[in-house]
């Protein structure tokens, strides 16, 4: 009597095999989790973080919106389009985001004096947070800039005579 050595060996092998299957199963689950984490991280890196804004100007000297909204601490990408047909020397449009406390009328007068040579941005842009190029009908400019501190900021078109009608605010939230 006594234990059958073959039987014992078979039992040992079966138990060992199951244990291996279980452990390898656990490992592959771990790998899946790791792969998922890596995938998520790279998605976050690739996705453009921040706010995408779109604004346009037309041949009637109008922006399509006068209120823009973005979140503080993020990049802002603004796509600005002139959806009209008139030349930029006749009906030029830009987007000029002014620093807090800038007098719009005073700035617009200085912009008119600065003229085409400085693309209608006076004083080397010291009063400006960000701006696009001056555009004519059919043209588009895309700019990216860091959102300023939370608050309300004026934006205008600095083409002579346009800021009276072409103005609005960009609100930066917390």
Taking the least distance from each CB to Co ion, the nearer of 157 and 172 is 157
Q: Does 82 interact with Co ion (rule: CB under 5 A)?
A: no
Strands 75-82 and 167-173 come out as unpaired
CA 37 to chain centre: 24
Tell me if 134 sits within 8 A of 117, measured CB to CB: no
Strands 167-173 and 151-156 come out as antiparallel
Q: Does 81 interact with Co ion (rule: CB under 5 A)?
A: no
Here the tokens at position 164 are 């009276």
d(CA 74, CA 96): 19
The residue range among 95-103, 118-126, 131-139, 159-167 that interacts with Co ion, by the rule CB under 5 A, is: 159-167
Subset of 89-108 contacting Co ion (CB under 5 A): 93
Taking the least distance from each CB to Co ion, the nearer of 121 and 166 is 166
d(CA 82, CA 157): 11
Minimum CB separation of residue 153 from Co ion in Å reads 18
Taking the least distance from each CB to Co ion, the nearer of 84 and 148 is 84
For 117, other C-beta atoms within 10 Å of its C-beta total: 6
d(CA 135, CA 87): 8
Q: Which residue is nearest to Co ion (CB)?
A: 157
Q: Does 111 interact with Co ion (rule: CB under 5 A)?
A: no
Q: Looking at 82, 88, 131, 162, which residue binds Co ion (CB under 5 A)?
A: 162
Minimum CB separation of residue 81 from Co ion in Å reads 12
Taking the least distance from each CB to Co ion, the nearer of 111 and 157 is 157
Query: For the chain, first and last CA: distance in Å?
Result: 82
Residues found near Co ion in the complex (CB under 5 A): 93, 157, 159, 162, 166
């Amino acid at each position: 009597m006594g234990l059958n050595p073959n039987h014992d060996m078979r039992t040992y092998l079966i138990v060992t095999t199951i244990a291996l299957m279980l452990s390898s199963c656990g490992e592959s689950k771990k790998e899946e989790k790791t792969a998922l984490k890596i995938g998520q991280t790279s998605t976050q890196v690739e996705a453009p973080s921040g706010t995408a804004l779109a604004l346009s100007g037309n041949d009637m000297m109008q922006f399509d919106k006068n209120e823009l909204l973005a979140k503080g601490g993020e990049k802002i990408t603004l796509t600005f389009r002139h959806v009209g047909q008139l030349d930029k020397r006749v009906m030029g449009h830009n987007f000029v985001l002014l620093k807090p406390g800038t007098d719009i009328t005073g700035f617009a007068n200085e912009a008119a004096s600065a003229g085409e040579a400085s693309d209608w941005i006076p004083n080397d842009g010291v009063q400006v947070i960000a701006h696009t190029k001056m555009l004519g009908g059919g043209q588009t400019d895309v700019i990216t800039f860091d959102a300023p501190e939370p608050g309300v900021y004026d934006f205008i078109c600095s083409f002579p005579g346009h800021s009276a009608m072409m103005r609005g605010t960009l609100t930066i939230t917390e």
